[in-house]
Amino acid sequence: MAGITLDSVRKSFGKNEVIHGIDIDIRDGEFIVIVGPSGCGKSTLLRMVAGLETVTSGDITIGDRRVNDLEPMDRDIAMVFQNYALYPHMSVFQNMAYGLKIAGTPKVEIERRVADTAKLLQLEDFLERRPRQLSGGQRQRVAMGRAIVRQPSVFLFDEPLSNLDAKLRVQMRLEIKALQQKLGVTSLYVTHDQVEAMTLAERMIVMNDGVAEQIGEPRDVYAKPATNFVAGFIGSPPMNFFGPSALKGYTGDSGGTLGVRPEHLTLCDETRGRLSGVAKYTEVLGAETLVHLVMNNGESLTIRQDGDSPAPDPGDNCFADFESSNLNVFDSQGRRVT
């Protein structure tokens, strides 16, 4: 196994630079999630680590080897794709064993590795089936099994759960997390789903337009977003943003943006409320209720409260407040003010 280092990694297509210098040291055995919206460069970054895209400048190191000029097969990596990429005419056993067979691994060793991996992934009863005879979750397990049997130094996951339904995605991400912890293999995982990123990552890279806006542990990224982009992208529902003029009694910098997470807001009476608005609608979600307000300046405000708490009716005048320690301040360039 091995760590990964990205040193000022950049990527351009012609004159169009799409990755603007990424620096990170990934520890051996660490689970890193690259998250961001479509088109932000997260898959391009992963493909450069894999060797499927060339590096325009900078260095990628896996273990103690600079791999910029190495072919994918020489980088000691295994990749799991969104579309599974299974051979439809082969059995589960043959799909999992194929890479080892091509590499000239002895037959006895192939059988041992496939059997051990099938047991790990609960696929023992499906080894003779074809992919078309499997569910989506089982096919994804086979794709992961094909990677695991190779015993690589690094796992690369490119949105592997995007084709699954919501319930199965939750189940599979828990399985992937448990599996990675058991195997202890350094992993890079790309997703556009910020909930997936928060639940899987030891550290996360939040990408925006080819830039790593923030690198950190999920709890730190959530609690102290480095930019208003990160604050708005990480969290469901996202952070509320409003201008300083909307906050009664605010005496700070008037040139930036203020933000408060929905769970940090509470409805209160007019005398205590520093924010005010009109109730637009509520979302009853069982354990919690989301109350959506429109403030006097037209900006929206979402309040997350306990599902048992009374909610206002549409059209009601409402007031809200929060602990001052939960106020996030961003300057005119969108950077967090500490």
What is the reported pLDDT for 68? Answer: 95
What is the reported pLDDT for 4? Answer: 97
What is the reported pLDDT for 256? Answer: 86
pLDDT digits (tens, 9 = 90+) for 247-288: 888 877 777 899 999 999 999 999 899 999 999 999 999 999
152 phi and psi, to 5 degrees?
-80, 170
Domains, the chain, ranges and CATH? 4-233 (3.40.50.300), 244-330 (2.40.50.140)
What is the reported pLDDT for 123? Answer: 92
pLDDT tops 90 at residue 301: yes
Q: How far apart are CA 44 and CA 212, in angstroms?
A: 13
pLDDT confidence bin for 323, thresholds 50/70/90: very high
Torsion angle defined by CA atoms of residues 72, 160, 224 and 227, in that order, rounded to the nearest 10 degrees: 70
* Contact criterion met (CB below 8 Å) for 98 and 90: yes
What is the reported pLDDT for 136? Answer: 86
pLDDT confidence bin for 163, thresholds 50/70/90: confident
What is the reported pLDDT for 316? Answer: 93
Say which DSSP state 287 is in. Answer: S
What is the reported pLDDT for 154? Answer: 95
pLDDT digits (tens, 9 = 90+) for 46-67: 999 999 999 999 999 999 999 9
Residue matched to tokens 């992208």: 233
CA 138 to chain centre: 22
What is the reported pLDDT for 219? Answer: 96
pLDDT confidence bin for 175, thresholds 50/70/90: confident
Q: How far apart are CA 208 and CA 41, in angstroms?
A: 8
- State the number of CA atoms in the 13 A half-sphere of 7 facing the CB: 9
Q: How far apart are CA 68 and CA 65, in angstroms?
A: 9
pLDDT digits (tens, 9 = 90+) for 179-197: 899 889 999 999 999 999 9
pLDDT confidence bin for 21, thresholds 50/70/90: very high
Sheet containing 257-260: which strands, arranged edge to edge? 240-242, 257-260, 328-330
Residue matched to tokens 């995605």: 169
What are the DSSP calls for 199-221, one per residue? HH-SEEEEEETTEEEEEE-HHHH
Mean pLDDT value of segment 331-335? 92
